[in-house]
Structure 1
Amino acid sequence: MFKPAHVLQVALVAIVLAGCASSPKTPVTALPADTQAQSAAASAPAENGAATGKGSPSQRNGRASVAAARSAQGQEGFLAPNGTLLPDVQVYAAQVAQTRNIPLAQVQSLLKEARYNATVARLMTPSPTRIRRSWFTYRNRFIEPVRIKAGVQFWQEHRAKLDSVAKQYGVPPSIIVAIIGVETIYGRHMGNFRILDALATLGFRHPDTARPERSQLFRDQLADLIQLDARRELDARTETGSFAGAMGLPQFMPGSILRYAVDGDKDGHIDLRTSPDDAIASVASFLRQHGWQPGLPVFAPVALPGDAAKLVKGGLEPTYTWEQLRQLGARERQSPPPYAWREHLLGIVDLLDEPRGTAEYRTGTPNFFAITHYNRSYFYAASVADLAQELANRVGYGAPN
């Protein structure tokens, strides 16, 4: 979910990550330059979780140096030979203790148990070649019989809660079910990486040293995890999930659990792993707080002009008024009322298939862009919408459009 304004969307890593609901974080101050130099970290997942970096010779040499440094200091964890935290981690621990109001000894104790995970680092290593984007391939990984069948079953089993949450938040049940399906196939694939290890590895020992501002994102998520542990909302020593640090049925990052997760089953505890009610309500809460508008379709019923590619601005927010699009050649398809989407800003969505040399263009409403805040990818949001439509067609109601 860590993605710049425009859209790079396809790779194996993107499929494994799928979504990873992320969120604005309470930043932990960046490490001083001297302690950063001691850390082999300084990176972040490539766009959409995908390994897309080309990797210059200097970057490759830098990764080799990082690997050599790791070999010299060992890969067991983040401790010096005398058992204390390494200098960069010590500085970080003090910052977390101060900014999150957690006893320093408690923060240090948790960080001393973190272990470097070579598999996490390998999965986050940028690819040396650019990956060609394929909407056809990406979509077919999610709009497929196994996920559709499991989605219909999940909907039927949790219909009452889905209907209740849809009424409360204004998010159609099909969208909620589709997101959980895309993320984990309804709990079948939630990940078995220890979150503490994954976030520490990516925060301090990431394999790509070219983008230090990105590794800060993982250190902030690690701070969120430590805060959740301090509040006894989870056990950071045992919590597992994806190699990027996402957890539970909806694959929430720690920051999203802190800020958007809700207690859907009213048992006094948020459990996104084993409580479908909590997961359902939390997905709806996340979307609503990221701009979801009740009653709007995901895609506006608009026929775009032949030069639609020129209308694409990218980004995660809509920018056109309907009148502007109309003047640029867009036309409304025949559709029944209501026409509330006309009153909102719209954005042109480009779904490119580079291997085939084709492109599909759609008109996204604020609800499409709300989904992109779950995973910063046009491919992801369009796949969620298409899966939601397919599920609603089978169940008989709750469609996204």
Structure 2
Amino acid sequence: MKSLFISFLVVSSVAAAPLSAAGCGGNFTTFLSTLTLELQAEGLSDSQAKAFLHGARIDPEVLKADRAQGVFRLDFDDFARRVISRNRLETGAYQAVKQGPLLQDIEQNYGVSRGVLLAFWGLETDFGQVQGTYKTRDALLTLAHDCRRPQLFLPQVMAAAKLYARGDFDPLRTRGAWAGEIGQVQMLPRDILENGVDGDGDGHVDLKGSAADALTSAARLLRHLGWQPNAPWLQEVTLPDDLDWARTGLDHPAPISEWVARGVVPRDGVLDPALSAAVILPMGRKGPAFLAYPNFEVLFEWNKSFVYVTTAAYFATRLEGAPVFEAGHPDPGLSKAQIKILQEKLSARGADVGTVDGILGRKTRAAVQGAQSALGLPADAWPTVGLLNRL
């Protein structure tokens, strides 16, 4: 089964990356010639730079994939039930045993829970089985040449070239996701260059062939992104009917002691009053509810989709023994077309919804909550037809 996630972009490592003088668009041969000089300026020899770029081409399938990320328009319930299959749960349990000593070492050295690593490993590539078929070098060059996000992909081209120069990347044979992620946990070249770990001790960082390298590198990347060692990330809770819904959402964290005082109780486990968390309602006040701890926020540096991050975090809790979430009876959500209309209306009111794309992402949810509050509606950040009509 083809993984649904190998193509969703990791953007954590390039926020401050400089633009390449190679620019974007225009003649591809000229683009490569300029890039050859830049690679030499980055420390590659003339022969290395030319060998890295030899035979490079634009891949039209990459551009097509870049413009069609429809899976992230599903709601949390549909998305989670689609991707957290019995097979993935069983394989995750099997790998937890098989990789037990490795996962224990990772937890001791990096403080990243095995459930989180197993969840990303499973969702990204079905535990290494589906790593992508796009030629990574050409995918990165295609997206760097394309003028939509060159500032994101040009640094990844440079990083891939440096991996090639040290013997950890083959420009002709390395394949992965359309957006350039490589290996069993789908990391971008710059993340591999900066956070890759030789977990099996063979002298190379091989995220494609070595589970030890992949899982250890993922843990190191999460720590680099701000993961708090040995701390929780997500916990399902039951909420009182009279909770102030405007206090929910990722932008409204509070001490656990305050949530307990407001009547929030865990469905499984206990709550630590020394911690802080936000209450998130992926499908509104009538659907499942979770406490999102600071480590949950770190996962947005791995992937920007609210639905993906919530699903991965929940999957990680399932792999560590949590029960199936209580689905509740949420109000029907909006279609892609309706969400685009909603985003346009919210934007016209001065709200920041990000891109008008029909995806109910984090910014759109916050804008929905603001509009609900202004209109005197329960401010649970879940848009309905009723809210759309009011707007």
TM-score normalised according to structure 1 size: 0.69
- Structure 1 runs (4+) greater than 6 angstroms displaced: none
Which of 57, 75, 90 matches 1:149? 90
Q: Name the count of aligned residue pairs.
A: 316
Mark the CA change 1:299 to 1:386 in structure 2 (over 3 Å): closer, same or farther.
closer
Match for residue 245 of structure 2? 308
Which of 378, 382, 385 matches 2:313? 385
Helix, strand or coil for the counterpart of 2:12?
coil
Most deviating of 283-292 and 107-116: 107-116
Q: How much has 1:309 moved relative to structure 2? A: 5.3
The separation in 1 between residues aligned to 2:302 and 2:55, in whole angstroms, is 30
What RMSD over aligned residues (CA atoms) do the two structures have, in Å? 3.2
CA deviations 1:133-188 (Å, max 9, x no partner) are: 41112111221112111111211211111112112211111111111001111111
Asked if 1:38 corresponds to 2:22, the answer is no
CA deviations 1:263-322 (Å, max 9, x no partner) are: 1112221111111111121121111221211232112676666453564356xxxx6342
Helix, strand or coil for the counterpart of 2:63?
helix
Mark the CA change 1:252 to 1:380 in structure 2 (over 3 Å): closer, same or farther.
same
Asked if 1:176 corresponds to 2:117, the answer is yes
Match for residue 302 of structure 2? 374
The separation in 1 between residues aligned to 2:66 and 2:25, in whole angstroms, is 20
Match for residue 188 of structure 1? 129
Match for residue 111 of structure 1? 53
Q: Retained in 1: the 8 A contact 2:238–2:289?
A: no
The separation in 2 between residues aligned to 1:368 and 1:131, in whole angstroms, is 18
Mark the CA change 1:340 to 1:296 in structure 2 (over 3 Å): closer, same or farther.
farther
Q: How much has 1:252 moved relative to structure 2? A: 0.8
1:127-142 equivalences under 5 Å are: 132-142=73-83
Asked if 1:165 corresponds to 2:106, the answer is yes
Q: How much has 1:239 moved relative to structure 2? A: 0.7
Q: Retained in 1: the 8 A contact 2:6–2:131?
A: no
Unaligned regions of 5+ residues in structure 2, if any? Answer: 323-391
Asked if 1:230 corresponds to 2:165, the answer is yes
Asked if 1:123 corresponds to 2:65, the answer is yes
Match for residue 151 of structure 2? 216
Q: Retained in 2: the 8 A contact 1:115–1:197?
A: yes
CA deviations 1:316-347 (Å, max 9, x no partner) are: xxx634289659x85452664744423xxx44
Helix, strand or coil for the counterpart of 1:116?
coil
Q: Percent identity?
A: 25
Amino acid at match of 2:245: A
Helix, strand or coil for the counterpart of 1:245?
coil
Q: Retained in 2: the 8 A contact 1:296–1:340?
A: no
Asked if 1:23 corresponds to 2:31, the answer is no
CA deviations 1:183-212 (Å, max 9, x no partner) are: 11111110111101111111114xxx5xx4
Which of 282, 298, 301 matches 1:351? 282
Match for residue 341 of structure 2? none
1:256-267 equivalences under 5 Å are: 256-267=191-202
Unaligned regions of 5+ residues in structure 1, if any? Answer: 1-12, 40-77, 80-85, 395-401
Amino acid at match of 1:118: P
